Amino acid sequence: MGFQFAETMAGTIEWANNPGERRPFHFDITAHAESTREHLATGRAKIRGVIHAPPLAESADAEGVITIRPLGQRVIRYELWFYGEDGHRYEVRGQKDIRWTSPFATFSRLPLEVTDESNQRVATCLTRFDMRRDWWSFLRSFRPA
């Protein structure tokens, strides 16, 4: 038996071709691990969701992998792929670097970068998990799968 949960990360995106201008950015994902045993061995789970990265992607389907290793490696890594409205494939990558001296700050802050098909950075993002608004729905989303 595995598990699943849902998460929203929201913040801003700054496109490389428009430095200094920040626009709203967020993604909503559901993580799904087929087997808890396998997840414990690898730390990985599949993720699917929607990315909002205007003007490139107003609401793009996304999929990828989350690696959850808060104890040994002290990271939670996100890798999401999506297609922009220009028809090209992009990847969003980032990780939460967990510090147990600041658990709320490090579990809720996620810097990201967006790269194009040739792995060139096209944007940077800073997102946060809104503890006040999303904590309860995040907890309620955990279930066996």
pLDDT tens-digit series, residues 17-52: 999 999 999 999 999 998 888 878 889 999 999 999
For the chain, the domain total comes to 1
pLDDT digits (tens, 9 = 90+) for 79-103: 999 999 999 999 999 999 999 999 8
Residue 116: give its domain's CATH number: 2.40.128
In a domain, 8, yes or no: yes
109 inside domain: yes
Q: Is residue 114 part of a domain?
A: yes
Task: Write the CA distances from 112 to 75, 109, 127, integer angstroms.
Answer: 14, 10, 8
Domain of residue 42, residue span: 3-137
Residue 145 has pLDDT above 90, yes or no: no
The answer to whether residue 112 sits within a structural domain is yes
Q: What is the b/e burial string over 32-64, where b = at least 16 CB atoms within 10 angstroms of the residue's CB? A: bbeeeeebeeebbbbbebbbbbeebbeebebeb
Q: Are 49 and 31 in contact (CB under 8 A)?
A: no
| Whole-prediction pTM | 0.92
